[in-house]
Structure 1
Amino acid sequence: MNSKRPVTPYGWAIKQRLTEMQLDQRKFCELYGIPPYRLSNLIHGTRKAERYRRQISQLLDLPPS
């Protein structure tokens, strides 16, 4: 699916936190009303998505780098 696009360091941080919280990406998006494609944009660095970046950083307790 998205295997062609590399995962950014911020994307790996998201994935790591979701793993620690025992949530998959789909469930996380459902819980917090985040469009799955926006989460994917942030993981792969394909769009800035600043609003969601701030929200996701807060929810996952990540620096908004």
Structure 2
Amino acid sequence: MNDKYPITPYGWVIKQRLTELHLDQKDFCQLHGIPTYRLSNVIHGTRRAERYRRQIAELLGLPPS
């Protein structure tokens, strides 16, 4: 989605957790009502998106970044 922005270390943690859960980003977003662009923002660090950052961390069982 945002190929020109590198994935942050926290973004890799999110991607790894999604892989462990056998979910892709789109399915995860649809399941939890999160806009796909917001997940991408968090993964690439292009916006803080605090509300979604907290929600994603909670849903994936990750520590807040």
Sort the TM-score into its range (normalised by shorter chain): over 0.9
TM-score of the pair, normalised by structure 1: 0.96
Q: How many residue pairs were aligned? A: 65
AA aligned to 1:62 is: L
AA aligned to 1:11 is: G
TM-score of the pair, normalised by structure 2: 0.96
> For residues 27-47 of structure 1, what are the alpha-carbon distances to aligned partners after superposition, in whole Å with 9 as ceiling and x for unaligned?
000000000000000000000
After TM superposition, the structure 1 = structure 2 runs for residues 20-31 of structure 1, keeping only pairs within 5 Å, are 20-31=20-31
Is 1:34 equivalent to 2:34 in the alignment? yes
AA aligned to 1:21 is: L
**What residue ranges of structure 2 are gaps of 5+ in the alignment?**
none
CA RMSD of aligned residues (A): 0.8
